[in-house]
Amino acid sequence: MVSILIPTYNYDITKLVGLLHKQATDTGIDFEIMICDDASLDQQIKLKNKKTETLPHCFYFENKSNLGRTKTRQYLANKASYNWLLFLDADVLPKKDTFLKKYFIEIQRKSHRNPVIFGGVAYQEHTPDSKKILRWKYGKKSEAKAAVKRIKNPYNVISQNLLIKKEVFLENNVSGNEYGLDILFSYRLKKNNISVLHIENPVVHYGLETASVFFSKSLEAVKTTFIFEEKGLLASDFRPLQKSYLLLQKFHLEKLFILFLSSFVPLIEKNIFSKNPSIFLFNLYRLYFYINLKRNA
């Protein structure tokens, strides 16, 4: 009934697979767990992860070269035996022991025809290491939202915890190595009028990046948005970032915004990498970066 697909890179997924296998076995429903290592460099982790294939209904694969998460997901989806695919990132754990059961119940319901079901993402409550506070604060503020809030913007989905019909995924997935491809995937779901159901069934994201890594990836995601918009693959008003730009443009304030913010860039960067970063300032910086891309195009 369900193929659970987990791409991994230099991350120990044995605990995640163990929990999922127990939950799936307890339900008595047909399942498989498929792991694909994306050419990890850490050989000890690879050896540990490979042992998961000794569990019934578990399969382990390795990419010969690093393909990135989206291509690895595509690879796993093509190999999947079942019509429902549950994509999970390697660095998450189910928040509750009823995680799979809740998804299975939704699959069996006949009252809706949603081919995409998003359970949400949560973050640990205690403050992490100071180098990872930016990623933690951003996740709690921007990603860890209840279903009643997510449904207001239903096409903002994150593939780290996504249940989707196989044919829908294969028709809408975008393969590439760019950071931020979930944005284009979400837009294609909207463009193709694919119904998305939001439920309360989160995973907890534990694999927090350092501020420097997350900052770099965030700007890369902004650049990806800009490139896809320029190519006509993404609407100019799909993301909140784009809407903020259009609002400034409407009132002819984008030049003033750039002029004003440029004076404070060093201070904003200092705050972003501090022990108490402001997500408001972080978002202003991302908007500043996006507008400069637009102006220099």
Q: What angle do CA 156, 11, 89 make, to 5 degrees?
A: 20
Same domain, 172 and 42: yes
Same domain, 116 and 228: no
Q: What is the tens place of the pLDDT at every residue in 202-234?
A: 999 999 999 999 999 999 999 999 999 999 999
The answer to whether the beta carbons of residues 162 and 116 sit under 8 Å apart is yes
Same domain, 120 and 182: yes
Same domain, 72 and 101: yes
Please identify, among 207, 225, 253, the residue that sits at the C-terminal boundary of a domain: 207
Q: What is the tens place of the pLDDT at every residue in 240-284?
A: 999 999 999 999 999 999 999 999 999 999 999 999 999 999 999
Strand partners, 6: 35
Same domain, 178 and 240: no
Same domain, 152 and 55: yes
The percent of residues above 70 in pLDDT, for the chain, comes to: 99
Q: Which domain holds residue 162?
A: 2-207
Rg (CA), the chain: 20
Please identify, among 151, 181, 207, the residue that sits at the C-terminal boundary of a domain: 207
CATH of the domain at 96: 3.90.550.10
Q: What is the tens place of the pLDDT at every residue in 75-99?
A: 999 999 999 999 999 999 999 999 9
10 Å Cβ neighbour count for 278? 15
| 154 Rama class: left (phi>0) / alpha (psi -120 to 50) / beta | alpha
Q: Please name the residues in contact with 45: beta carbons below 8 A apart, sequence gap of 6 or more.
A: 10, 11, 12
DSSP of 213-268? HHHHHHHHHHHHHHHHHHTTSS-TTSSHHHHHHHHHHHTT-HHHHHHHHHTTHHHH
* pLDDT confidence tier of residue 287, bands split at 50, 70 and 90: very high
Q: CA 116, CA 199: separation in Å to the nearest integer?
A: 11
Q: How many domains does the chain have?
A: 2
Same domain, 222 and 101: no
Residue entry with tokens 């989905």 = 157
What pTM value is reported for the model? 0.95
Q: For residue 9, count CB atoms less than 10 angstroms from its CB and return exposed for 0-12, middle for 13-18, buried for 19 or more.
A: buried
* Residue whose C-alpha is closest to residue 160's, from 222, 224, 264, 87: 87
